[in-house]
A and B are shown apart, each in its own frame.
Chain A
């Protein structure tokens, strides 16, 4: 019997949507481990999100410390490892976000834990299903260590719902916050009012065929009309058309929205690895032979110059008829 410690990211006073996916995974894991879910909130200001977090688990451990203002793996990993021991966890979970991917293997190192990364399902206490080879295969891995670390793929675990009764909130031990000399110099964020690419219902992505950043405006118009997030292929981000954090794929973000619209993207396996779990896929490409059409539920052969403005107009018409 052991508990499941769920490292949850928050934004101001609430858990992030991605953290609620972590909770969803943690609940399944706790059932198999015979213990309870303990949510761990770490960082300066974490206390503010505690009440929200308490809706999702029987226990919330808050480590709110000025020394932990900026996330670094160096300072956070020992905090998480210590909490794992204090809470008698046999599994430490997070979502496979950029923080989770950076942090959890380091925690595993500190705890001598085996690890399963970016899992799509939990089959047993220590057995997980996960994509390998850029999504070209799925494997079942078994982790034999007494304590394990797991990152969960957000798109495979629907955000958890509140339990109906609030859990207990306790303070955890912060430790010394030693960053081992690491220092966050600056963070460049691409601010946007659009939904987060990781949890958007609809994603509109553009590829190299958009030719330049200016041309992405028409895709952005489409995205805003649909309340969608923007994505892109690596070719488009590498060419500097759009920011790097828009990249979808094996080495970008893995998304699984209800609707994914790929425009002027050929459909390389590394791109497909990031979006083929989407419920409905639309492809617009001028090349009828483009591999993206093999995964598209609806494929439209044509140029974006023609199709996208027409699509915007048609959707506006549809929306007008609905109101």
Chain B
């Protein structure tokens, strides 16, 4: 089984947002793997390994479309346990969902993965587009917002629990397919592959890279290509015109008692 995980680098979401000249100020920003993509790497590793005996039964390939420095985020994924990495060089400004999709299509054409597993959204742009758009273009089945994934014993399909407005939908899709992951995919029993004993409980969260993993990552293959190498000529159709901070909310006030609260809600805010 071969799993392709597209991942994006994003500015550390814990850092305060600064704006300069109508754009996000990224000077001195620290970059991390998009949270949901890190979760996708974790889920991919859980799908191909036997956590009982530590053996591996498949390959995890990570790919990013981004500048030179994005190689660092690929190394992080390799250190977690991915087998190979591919970086397609591009300036973040040249990219939109359409260009990323066109590029991933080329990668998929040569890699022929059984499963494309990725984040539901990049937490910088919060777009939530690439997975579905890619699936549409490739006419592949899709399961978005995965809270759990179960790989069938014959490895020909996955059943995905999807978090939807009304609850949880279980969708079974034949492979190859595209699955985008939501937060709960990293809970202890979210991924089942019928190789790891079903009773196995993972630790919550994506795994940390071990020292050994980090050393090994340095020797793992990391290939660099360009958009031109892949024959991608498409240009971005969406453009960020400007950015601003949200209007500040008036500073909060404290009330001293429940009586005062109810009175204010009734007389002042008129909401009850």
Query: Nearest residue in A to B126 (C-beta to C-beta)?
Result: A132
CB contact between A244 and one of B142, B147, B244, B251 (< 8 Å): that residue? B147
- Is the CB of A188 closer than 8 A to any CB of chain B? yes
Residue from the set A107, A282, A297 with the largest chain B CB neighbour count within 10 Å: A297
Asked if A226 and B243 make an inter-chain contact with CB atoms under 8 angstroms apart, the answer reads no
B166-187 contact mask (Cβ, 8 Å, vs A): 1 or 0: 1111111110000000111001
CB-based contact B271/A280 at 8 Å: yes
Chain B residues touching A, majority SS:
mixed
Is B211 an interface position by the 8 A CB rule? no
Chain A interface, >50% SS class: mixed
A109 touching B135 in the complex, CB below 8 Å, given contacts A136-B17, A141-B240, A311-B262: yes
Write the nearest CB–CB distance from B5 to chain A, whole angstroms. 19
Binary interface encoding of chain A residues 257-295 relative to chain B, with 1 for a CB under 8 A from any of its CBs, else 0: 011000000000000000010011111000010000111
Tell yes or no: A253 within 8 A of B by CB: yes
In the complex, A300→B257 CA distance in Å? 7
Q: Which of B76-84, B157-165, B193-201 lies on the face that meets chain A?
A: B157-165
- Interface contact tally, CB-CB below 8 A: 256
Contacts of A250 in B (CB 8 A): 123, 126
Contact (Cβ within 8 A) A299 B254: yes
CB contacts (< 8 Å) of B55 on chain A: these are none
Q: Which of A142, A293, A301 contacts B238 (CB 8 A)?
A: A142
Interface residues of A in 58-104 (CB under 8 A from B): 72-74, 77, 97-99, 101-104
Q: How large is the interface on B (under 10, 10 to 19, 20 to 34, 35 or more residues)?
A: 35 or more
Answer whether residue A315 sits at the interface, using C-beta atoms and an 8 A cutoff: yes
Q: Choose from A98, A107, A135, A184 the contact partner of B136 (Cβ within 8 Å).
A: A107
B135 vs chain A, min Cβ distance (A): 6
A127 at the interface (CB under 8 A from B): yes
Q: Return the contact of A131 from the options B136, B241, B246, B272 (Cβ within 8 A).
A: B246
Residue of B125, B126, B174 with highest tally of chain A CB at under 10 A? B126
The answer for the CA separation of A136 and B244 in the assembled complex, in Å, is 9
The answer to whether B238 and A183 have CB atoms under 8 Å apart is no
**Is B134 an interface residue when CB atoms closer than 8 A count as contact?**
yes
Answer whether residue A47 sits at the interface, using C-beta atoms and an 8 A cutoff.
no
Considering residues A106, A183, A307, which has the most beta carbons from chain B within 10 angstroms of its beta carbon? Answer: A106
List chain A residues, Cβ under 8 A from B166.
Answer: 98, 187, 189-190, 245
B259 at the A interface (CB under 8 A) = yes
List B residues at the A interface (Cβ < 8 Å).
13, 17, 19, 24, 96-98, 101, 123-137, 139-145, 147, 157, 159, 162-174, 182-184, 187, 237-246, 249-255, 257-259, 261-262, 264-266, 269, 271-272
Residue pairs across A and B with Cβ atoms less than 8 A apart, 18 shown, are A98-B166, A102-B132, A105-B129, A105-B133, A117-B126, A118-B126, A132-B243, A134-B13, A138-B245, A143-B238, A184-B170, A187-B164, A188-B169, A280-B265, A295-B252, A297-B250, A298-B254, A318-B266
